[in-house]
Structure 1
Amino acid sequence: MHYVYILYSPSTDRYYIGETAFVSGRLEQHNGGFYKNASTKSASDWELFLEVECIDRSQALKLERFIKQQKSRKFIERLQSESKIISDLLLRFK
């Protein structure tokens, strides 16, 4: 099982999109500064904004890429409030 996750940092007011098999462990790594050259190094208060379960890594990578290509804060916020968007995207990238 793989997941696409979206983190939010209140201190920087930014979102981060990634994919992993273990969301909780990845969140700890981002907050702990494990990724020295990542865009998440600017904060240590990342919180889980959204977690989407995918059938495999391939689907997760496609979904992650699509969300990043939108380059839209409003789109990311709509993903949390309108679950049909996620359902449609998961079918699209099956």
Structure 2
Amino acid sequence: MDNFVYILYSKKLDKHYIGFTQNLTQRIEFHLNDTQSRKFTYKANDWELIFTIECESKNQGLSIEKHIKAMKSKIYIRNLLQYPEMKFNLLEKYKDASDFQSESR
């Protein structure tokens, strides 16, 4: 199964949305057609997929998503886009989260 951390950007809101999914196409479609006003992505209709990381496991993906959210920084996200090595560093840093899933099966 595919595991993706992704970042969306809305120019209208000048905001990023960071998420995790196992079906990227379906999840992006959900965000673009969100009809539930309590959801964050409902506030704009111009969400653009600007970044993805394919992860080895759900645990690794959730760990990377949590890390990026914890940074609370547009500069950090801009750096992720500008410096591809940061993506590889995150995958390496949270490799143990991937190993944990494999061992628990």
TM range (shorter): over 0.9
Q: Name 2:56's counterpart in structure 1.
A: 55
The Cα of 1:36 is off from its aligned counterpart by 3.9
Q: Name 2:9's counterpart in structure 1.
A: 8
Kindly indicate whether the alpha-carbon contact (under 8 Å) linking 1:29 and 1:35 is maintained by their aligned counterparts in 2.
no
1:90 alignment partner AA: L
State TM-score, norm by structure 2.
Answer: 0.84
CA distance in structure 1 between the aligned counterparts of 2:65 and 2:40, rounded to whole angstroms = 16
CA distance in structure 1 between the aligned counterparts of 2:31 and 2:41, rounded to whole angstroms = 6
Task: Find the structure with the greater CA-based Rg.
Answer: 2
Kindly indicate whether the alpha-carbon contact (under 8 Å) linking 2:37 and 2:43 is maintained by their aligned counterparts in 1.
no
State TM-score, norm by structure 1.
Answer: 0.94
Q: Name 1:83's counterpart in structure 2.
A: 84
Structure 1 unmatched ranges of 5 or more: none
Moved over 4 A (4+): none
CA distance in structure 1 between the aligned counterparts of 2:93 and 2:36, rounded to whole angstroms = 31
Percent identity over the alignment is 36
The answer to whether structure 1 residue 66 and structure 2 residue 63 are counterparts is no
- Give SS of 1:29's match: helix
CA RMSD of aligned residues (A): 1.1
Which piece of structure 1 moves more, 56-65 or 27-36? 27-36
The Cα of 1:38 is off from its aligned counterpart by 1.9
Structure 2 unmatched ranges of 5 or more: 96-105
Kindly indicate whether the alpha-carbon contact (under 8 Å) linking 1:19 and 1:64 is maintained by their aligned counterparts in 2.
yes
